[in-house]
Amino acid sequence: MTSASDSAASDSAASDSSSASSSGSSEAVPRPPGWIVWSLRVTATGHLAGVLVQAALAGLFVTGDVDLLAWHRDNAGYTHALLYAQVVAAVLLWRPGRGPGWPVPAWAPPRCGG
């Protein structure tokens, strides 16, 4: 009976040591708040939708539907605004949320010509 409890205790100690060694420290890394993560998800999805609609509107405008030029212009403004909202959400995830920093510079290549 004691051997089963001893093996369970050694298994839990082994899993604790393996999780501590894989993370590099014994402290748990805090997760960013859910509202910050969701704000980045929503703005990124909205920006993607705006870019896809922009391409569709451009294609329809080229086919001869001149009225869609105003929609194309308005959609460009909304998509551009969503891009900057996405950058704000990425900075919030990175700094106060202590999340990954890669979403912040990820917006730079399309905007800076890189």
Residue extents of the structural domains in the chain = 1-30, 31-112
Question: How many Å apart are CA 63 and CA 69, to the nearest integer?
Answer: 11
In this predicted structure, the answer to whether residue 30 has a pLDDT above a threshold of 80 is: no
pLDDT digits (tens, 9 = 90+) for 72-114: 999 999 999 999 999 888 888 888 877 777 777 776 655 555 4
**Average pLDDT value for the chain:** 76
The answer to whether the pTM exceeds 0.85 is no
Res 96: pLDDT = 80
In this predicted structure, the answer to whether residue 24 has a pLDDT above a threshold of 70 is: no
Q: What confidence tier does 44 reach under pLDDT thresholds 50, 70, 90?
A: very high
Question: How many Å apart are CA 68 and CA 53, to the nearest integer?
Answer: 11
